[in-house]
Amino acid sequence: MRRATLVALVLALATGAATAAPDHASAERPIVLAAASLTEVLPRIAPDGRYSFGSSNALAEQIRRGAPFDVYLSASPLYTRALGDEGLVRRPVPFATNSLVLIVPKSNPARIKRVADLAKRQKLRLVVAGPKVPIGLYTREVLKRLGMLKVLRKTVSLEPDVKGVVGKVALGQADAGFVYRTDVKPVSSRVRAIRLPARAQPTVAYELAIATRPQDDEAAQDFVVGVLGPDGRRELQAALFGLPGP
């Protein structure tokens, strides 16, 4: 992303918003609420951020209840745009994309080789995220596109975020689960990823937004510049995220 475009974006994010006086004790240490799937990559982009990771919907609810924050990063535009409509964040900006895979334990006791096998295994232990969690929404979209929504009857656990799904499968407590492509690398010694048919892939878009009244406006804007700038994009790509257009 060209520097001029990046500066314009950050200025647009700041335009017309009332801001709180900077807290010099926490200068350049933004409070960041971010989707769980960004747990590994964001600290590499901005090591000084004060992070709280979780499901995008739960974090959005925290914001509605008055939780202090500078920047919110969601795994679905559904939540950033809703908060924007409510006047709680400034204009959302897309910064990454992702895709889904099916993961199984390395031992693969259910002998799953493709997504269609989920419907064939009678005693399958499937783990998915809740229906309001982005990965849960995307999972249901995948199954709907494949005509396999009945597979959800084999769910043994509803997880609060994607890390919960990853953990259950990696520990062998479930036979399969849908996660983001980017979640596989940290547990690659314990799970195997199975690609989904192209027709089943949902559009997974990440957006960020600065709080309408951030705790530290300068720190918030510096953080956004870091994510949208060349170094941030490079780290996102290294973590296997896709990038939106300029």
Answer yes or no: is 246 within a domain: no
Answer yes or no: is 243 within a domain: no
Give pLDDT, residue 27. 53
Under the banding of pLDDT at 50, 70 and 90, the label for residue 21 is very low
Residues 146 and 225 occupy one common structural domain: no
Beta bridge partners of 94: 207
* pLDDT of 193 above 60: yes
Answer yes or no: is 107 within a domain: yes
Under the banding of pLDDT at 50, 70 and 90, the label for residue 28 is confident
Mean pLDDT of 169-193: 97
37-72 pLDDT per residue, tens: 999 999 999 999 999 999 999 999 999 999 999 999
DSSP H helical ranges for 27-115: 42-45, 56-64, 77-85
Answer yes or no: is 244 within a domain: no
* pLDDT of 2 above 60: no
pTM over 0.85, yes/no: yes
Mean pLDDT of 111-123: 96
Nearest CA to 81 among 207, 225, 241? 207
- CATH code of residue 123: 3.40.190.10
Under the banding of pLDDT at 50, 70 and 90, the label for residue 4 is very low
Which residue range(s) make up the domain with 31? 3-97+205-238
124-152 pLDDT per residue, tens: 999 999 999 999 999 999 999 999 999 99
Answer yes or no: is 24 within a domain: yes
**Residue environment code for 213-242, b if the CB has 16+ CB neighbours within 10 A, otherwise e:** bbbbbebbbbbbbbbbeeebbebbeebebe
Residues 47 and 119 occupy one common structural domain: no
Q: What is the rounded CA–CA span in Å between residue 75 and residue 94? A: 10
218-236 pLDDT per residue, tens: 999 999 999 999 999 999 9
Nearest CA to 22 among 13, 33, 30, 10? 30
**Domain count of the fold of the chain:** 2
Under the banding of pLDDT at 50, 70 and 90, the label for residue 25 is very low
Mean pLDDT of 173-186: 97
Average per-residue pLDDT in the chain?
91
Under the banding of pLDDT at 50, 70 and 90, the label for residue 11 is very low
* pLDDT of 17 above 80: no
Residues 68 and 110 occupy one common structural domain: no
Answer yes or no: is 79 within a domain: yes
